[in-house]
Amino acid sequence: MFSAKQKAQKMLSKAGITINGPADFDMQVHNEKLYQRVLIGGSLALGEAYMEGWWDVKNLDQFFHKILSSNISSKFNFTLPALQTFLKNSLLNLETKSRSFKVGQQHYDIGNDVYEAMLDKRLVYTCGYWPDTQNLNEAQEAKLDLVCRKIGIKPGQSVLDIGCGWGSFLKFAAEKYQAKGTGVTVSKEQVKLGQALCKDLPVELLLQDYRDLQGQFDHIISLGMFEHVGVKNYRTYMQKAHDLLSDDGLFLLHTIGTDVPMKFVDPWVEKYIFPNSILPAPSQITKAAEGLFVIEDWHNFGADYDKTLMAWFHNFDSAWPKLKDKYGETFYRMWKYYLLSFAGSFRARNLQLWQIVLSKKGVVGGYRSVR
């Protein structure tokens, strides 16, 4: 009969990982109770045990890259936390209007000082675009400009940003393309700082659910918000975007995605990072857009998220001495685990990053892809 430790080592060996081994990606175990805890509790237990200091690894991103590339994480799909998350996602609409503000309160409102330390100078909390760039600031400027060029924005045009964060895109579009902007977010801290950053620009930021939006806009963009919409609301979201977009305008949807529909989000991510969120698959996006939009362009640059997340972690880690008294060691380990596990997942190409350009009636003469 194999012990819990032997089972764990056998499983990890398939990813080339040795318990207490010498490699930078090898798990160093400080509490022998870890093995039984993880075999019962799966990925939730693994993450919580890391937060509590039960184990370490020199390079978490490498550890997760190897784990996810080997597909051994699928062994944890039938743990109790995974089952509970699956049932909750299946039975409930987790992103009703009343629930939509939870992710703002738990994740985006943790403290603007964390994000100011971690992100680029414009506070862009989505994947950078790294071709022909040397650092995070350049990659985010390139991404914002890419979005503007993809939708063909002209001076004086109005742009709606669904999930606007601190207003980084709208500020850029106003400064560089003389656009007028409206943004919505579910984070009160983002609105407060964003309004100050966009002062004296034709930009309005609203603390509001996207379903309550009214009006008409020349273009719509949404960068990293669709992950919080929820499968049961995809059609509602697309219908709302259709209603708000002018007939000859373009809608750019920028979202993390998965190759096949998710049955549930990782229980640790659900509990500690992005509550009530789930990633879309291509089939779910196309189904939601059916009869409402023509898909003009679909651009995948998910590999760039690995570089973005590693840059975020470097910034966060460098700034930690100034943040640690306020946030504490458990928060540091949680945030490190979040950033580096996602970096490993994008490196393994388990997660994708898509920019999708949609029109209501098809671009006359055809859309010319922008890269």
- Residues 187, 165: Cα–Cα separation, whole Å: 8
Angle of CA points 253, 257, 263, to nearest 5°:
130
Q: Can you say whether residue 20 is alpha, beta or left, with left for phi > 0 and alpha for psi between -120 and 50 degrees?
A: left
Among the candidates 89, 112, 130, a domain finishes at: 89
Over residues 164-218, the pLDDT tens digits come to 999 999 999 999 999 999 999 999 999 999 999 999 999 999 999 999 999 999 9
Among the candidates 67, 89, 111, a domain finishes at: 89
Over residues 68-123, the pLDDT tens digits come to 999 876 655 556 565 556 555 555 565 677 677 888 999 999 999 999 999 999 99
One domain for residues 22 and 130: no
Report which of 273, 158, 163, 161 is spatially closest to residue 209, judged by C-alpha positions.
Answer: 163
Angle of CA points 228, 234, 236, to nearest 5°:
110
Residue 149 lies in a domain: yes
Q: Give the number of domains in the chain.
A: 2
One-letter amino acid of 154 = K
Tell me if 301 sits within 8 A of 22, measured CB to CB: no
Mean pLDDT for the chain?
Answer: 93
Query: Is the CA virtual torsion 263, 266, 272, 273 positive or negative?
Result: negative
One domain for residues 127 and 18: no
Least confident range of 35-44, 275-284, 306-315: 35-44
One domain for residues 203 and 284: yes
Q: What is the pTM of this model?
A: 0.94
Say how many C-beta atoms besides its own lie within 10 A of residue 104's C-beta: 18
One domain for residues 104 and 218: yes
**E strands along the chain, which residues?**
28-29, 55-56, 158-162, 180-185, 203-207, 217-223, 245-257, 294-300, 352-359
Residues of the domain holding 114:
97-301+354-359
One domain for residues 19 and 154: no
